[in-house]
Amino acid sequence: MRGDGGMSGTDWALLVLLSVLWGGSFFFSKIAVEGLPPLTLVFTRFAAASILLYAVLRATGQPIPTTLAAWRGFAGMGLLNNLVPAGLIVWGQTMIPSGLAAILVATTPIFSILATRLIGVDDRPTAGKAAGMALGIIGTAVLVGANGAGLSRPSAVGLGACLGAAISYGFANALGSRFRRLGIGPAVGAFGQMTMTSIMALPLALAIDHPWQLAVPGRSVLLAMIGLVVLSTALGYVIFFRILASAGATNISLVTLLIPVSAVLLGGAVLGETLSEFQLLGMALVGLGLVAIDGRAWRTFRRAGAPTQ
């Protein structure tokens, strides 16, 4: 496992797959929230996914950590990577457009770099990576900026909430990088994080949503929850920890740049939405940013242009 900021072809393929799974979670959540309030949805999503992964771990013979250090890390990841940012984003979107919220969350790679330096994990940014992230954030802004058109005075509280979510994601990515030092595999890391998230979400859901008073969800809500639990959560977080272990905190945060692209493409494929010129431009900028971050194309170009001895 490298952890030095390098990305293999497999890492890039998994990152794209993760962006599709997490981009698809917006479709599933939009349907599910019609029958379940937010905190109950969060608890159900992570509790069901943790039970599913527990069965997988038992079937494959993977040991579950029993040390305090491991479960302290799981609690930190559950708080910083799930509970806090999800709550801040939902709250922020009540005050600012979702497009503007997406732009702010797309700054996660910047905070991942800062967090890795503060926490001291071995993920060092380069000039190419910084330039690529800048291109990616600009592309994301172009991609979703039309949603914020006409917003003359955005709420400072709403802006701060979504920026706080990006900061939380950044520190979660840096914290998660330490799991490989404890010998914790991707599936085990995903199980531990989701278990702690559901434990923390349960009292909040009971106190605020009163789920025992809710009507039985309909078929569409149940199907959406199955997709959310199995694909976007259980499978998604196994892939998340796999990339985190092999490529580092900064690279896993690139998924926040790819998710808006995946969401737009899924909208075209599933809902028949057409792509505007600005959306195509935004995706092109994100693509250029990812090429710059990867660095291999630039290194190949330099080698090709170098004089031969």
Can you give the pLDDT at residue 2?
A: 47
pTM beyond 0.75? no
pLDDT in tens, 245-289: 787 766 777 777 777 667 666 666 765 655 567 666 776 776 677
Structure tokens at 136: 């990616």
Can you give the pLDDT at residue 226?
A: 93
Can you give the pLDDT at residue 294?
A: 61
Can you give the pLDDT at residue 50?
A: 93
Can you give the pLDDT at residue 143?
A: 62
Residue ranges per domain, the chain? 9-301
pLDDT in tens, 84-110: 887 787 777 667 665 566 667 777 777
Contact 217, 225 (CB under 8 A): yes
The one-digit pLDDT tens for each residue of the chain (309 residues) are 444 456 778 888 898 898 888 877 767 777 787 788 888 888 998 999 999 999 989 998 889 988 888 898 899 989 998 888 877 877 776 676 655 666 677 777 777 777 777 766 555 566 777 777 777 777 767 765 554 444 445 577 877 888 888 889 888 887 777 776 777 888 888 899 999 999 999 999 999 989 888 888 888 889 989 998 999 888 988 898 888 878 776 677 777 777 766 766 666 676 565 556 766 677 677 667 767 766 665 665 566 555 555
Q: Which residues of 85-122 are buried (b: 16+ CB within 10 A; e: fewer)?
A: bbbbbbbbbebbbebbbbbbbbbbbbbbbebbeeeebe
